[in-house]
A = this chain, B = another copy of it.
Amino acid sequence: MHNKDKTCWNCPAAILNGNVEFRACGQSVSDIRNKITEEGLLIECARRPELGVFEPSITFEQCPEWRETKYGYMLKDMRVVILGIDGYLGWTLALKLAKIGCKVSGIDNYLRRKAVTEKNSKSVVPIAYMEKRIKTAKEVHGVEINFREIDLLNREELSSFLEETKPETIIHYGEIPSAPYSMVDAEHAIKTQYNNTLGTLGVLFLIKEHCPEASLIKLGTMGEYGTPLTGRPIFEGLFPADAVISWQGQEWSMGGELTPRDPASFYHVSKVQDTFNVYEACKYWWLRSYDIMQGVIFGVHTEEVSVHKDLRTRLDVDEWFGTVINRFVSQAVLGIPLTVYGSGEQIRGYLSLEDAMECMTRLIASPPEPGQYDVVNQLSQLYKVKELAEIVAKVGSQNHGLMVKIQRVENPRVEADEHPFLVVSKKLREDHGYDPKTPLELEVDRMFSLLLQPEIQERLESIREAVFPQTWWNGNHKTSMTLEIYEHGTREIIGYRPTLVTRSESHQTKPTIVNESEPYQTQVQDIKYGDET
């Protein structure tokens, strides 16, 4: 088990109020580290008070409070609070965690349900209200989920909730997750940053007050990084120790510093703003956090949600909240040629809903250390948008008998059309035992099977207007013009070849331009789709 040798040092049950007061001021980090080295460090255990005061050296393997799971050793009955538990990811994760024995609580203010309505859209997969979801979860999976309707910005109510639930892990999904929504106008931009940035800042103060030992697992986005045109590596949030900057004949290590960010919308800016608030809270107060730079999510399936229709998670396919693959599948079902923006050469990281849940569970299992702000690039694979359209069109036509075309439309966004993309995503794989499980084609096939059900097809039809891009980054609101329509399988994919570095031994990191005569293939280092082991 990859995390068997971690100790109390990483355990949220360890109360660090022995001989070192981490959350004091007037002492530098190096002073604290020296003190720990020289005098040792003493803790108490919130779960085993009978141990008294001791050194934090019990390993997860040794400790009876930790038990082996397929995601690593995990704290027994871990108390997890999910902010945004009604959402696409929040609900799916709640079921998964409850099923493996966590005590799951969560809040939501149904902001997402309301914002989708504002777009004249709805989840194309019908979803039950929270009360019914929870009842069905109890019947089908035998689990208890503790829900309260609370707005993240209502710190008084959230404060009481945290006091009651005493979380050991907090999953922060409670944000508005849409780039186009944030670009509609000033009101939407401000609402996004108000909800996301100030909401998160308030949460940090509450964690400090109620549960400073809890691990905060916060959803960011790969879109914080932008697409550096030099092709320089997109590291995992912080420069690695062996990254060196040179200038005018001198060199300095950049190790540990935040890498440059170049967010792609005011929504993405809000995520960068969060990054800095969380980073600072870890520095000032010794909170601990994984900031998840997640690729674009797609799909509908996990074992827990697929088993009963009242347990399904939402699926948005409108231009505000629908991510690209989810939109493509719905367009294929609707008979709309798949809308590729601009050249379609944009490269992004992707992962299925199921893989995302697997990653999150592994991160929950192995909390960071006190004071540790760590960033994880959470994605399974890199694709060009054009390539995704090809795959969706192929699965739709071959497996489901649909006639699927592809159209290039005017790009309403301001983004680089063509760019190299060299992404590092090693931590989940090397430190947390993650291997992507769901090939894109498999999940796309599952999506077609679900979306072609008559009831869902009917819902899809009813929101047809909401699927097409209309929100322009320059503030206009108009339907993007079609530039061309083509048959899938008729275009070669050329240009920059993305590179994903997943293991330390991969030294081939040079992005290359694919020669038109070579067949195009995404260059992947050591990616394998594994069984659960």
What is the CB-to-nearest-CB distance from A141 to chain B, in angstroms, rounded to a whole number?
A: 37
Q: Known: A242-B248, A250-B510. Contact between A26 and B412, CB under 8 A?
A: yes
What is the CB-to-nearest-CB distance from A286 to chain B, in angstroms, rounded to a whole number?
A: 9
Copies in the complex: 2
Q: Is the CB of B262 within 8 A of A266?
A: no
A253 — which chain B residues lie within 8 A by C-beta? 230, 232
A231 — which chain B residues lie within 8 A by C-beta? 252
Rounded to whole angstroms, the CA-CA distance of A469 and B244 in the bound complex is 39
A410-441 interface (Cβ within 8 A of B): 410-414, 416-417
Kindly state whether residue A260 has any CB partner on chain B within 8 Å. Answer: yes
Kindly state whether residue A205 has any CB partner on chain B within 8 Å. Answer: yes
Kindly state whether residue A51 has any CB partner on chain B within 8 Å. Answer: no
Convert A456-500 into 0s and 1s, putting 1 for each residue whose CB lies closer than 8 angstroms to a CB of B: 000000000000000011111000100000000000000000000
| A274: nearest chain-B partner, CB-CB | B273
Q: Is the CB of A26 within 8 A of B411?
A: yes
Q: Is the CB of A202 within 8 A of B230?
A: no
Q: Is the CB of B247 within 8 A of A233?
A: yes
A230 — which chain B residues lie within 8 A by C-beta? 252-254
Q: Which stretch (A4-12, A34-42, A109-117, A277-285) binds chain B? A: A277-285
Q: Known: A205-B185, A269-B280, A474-B284. Contact between A232 and B245, CB under 8 A?
A: yes
Q: Is the CB of B257 within 8 A of A262?
A: yes
Rounded to whole angstroms, the CA-CA distance of A411 and B29 in the bound complex is 13
**Which interface residue of A186, A263, A510 has the most chain B CB atoms within 10 A?**
A186
Q: Known: A250-B510, A254-B245. Contact between A202 and B190, CB under 8 A?
A: yes
Rounded to whole angstroms, the CA-CA distance of A232 and B189 in the bound complex is 35
In terms of DSSP, what is the predominant structure of the interface of chain A? loop
Q: Which stretch (A163-171, A191-199, A312-320) binds chain B? A: A191-199
A258 — which chain B residues lie within 8 A by C-beta? 260-262
Q: Is the CB of B245 within 8 A of A245?
A: yes
What is the CB-to-nearest-CB distance from A374 to chain B, in angstroms, rounded to a whole number?
A: 16
Q: Is the CB of B280 within 8 A of A266?
A: yes
Convert A227-252 into 0s and 1s, putting 1 for each residue whose CB lies closer than 8 angstroms to a CB of B: 01011110000011011111111101
Kindly state whether residue A23 has any CB partner on chain B within 8 Å. Answer: yes
Rounded to whole angstroms, the CA-CA distance of A254 and B273 in the bound complex is 22
Q: Is the CB of A260 within 8 A of B263?
A: no
Q: Is the CB of B249 within 8 A of A263?
A: no
Kindly state whether residue A397 has any CB partner on chain B within 8 Å. Answer: no
Rounded to whole angstroms, the CA-CA distance of A22 and B243 in the bound complex is 36
Q: Is the CB of B250 within 8 A of A247?
A: no
Among B262, B265, B284, B509, point to the contact of A414 (Cβ < 8 A). Answer: B284
A262 — which chain B residues lie within 8 A by C-beta? 257-258, 279
What is the CB-to-nearest-CB distance from A304 to chain B, in angstroms, rounded to a whole number?
A: 35
Q: Is the CB of A254 within 8 A of B232?
A: yes
A53 — which chain B residues lie within 8 A by C-beta? none
A26 — which chain B residues lie within 8 A by C-beta? 342, 410-412, 480
Q: Is the CB of B197 within 8 A of A273?
A: yes
Rounded to whole angstroms, the CA-CA distance of A232 and B243 in the bound complex is 13
**What are 15 contact pairs spanning A and B, CB under 8 A?**
A25-B411, A25-B413, A155-B186, A193-B201, A232-B253, A232-B254, A233-B252, A243-B245, A243-B246, A245-B254, A246-B246, A259-B260, A283-B414, A284-B414, A284-B474
Q: Please name 13 further chain A to chain B contacts, defined as beta carbons within 8 Å, in addition to the given A190-B201, A230-B254, A284-B414, sorted by A numbering.
A: A24-B474, A25-B410, A26-B411, A26-B412, A155-B186, A193-B198, A193-B201, A232-B245, A243-B245, A243-B246, A258-B260, A263-B276, A284-B474
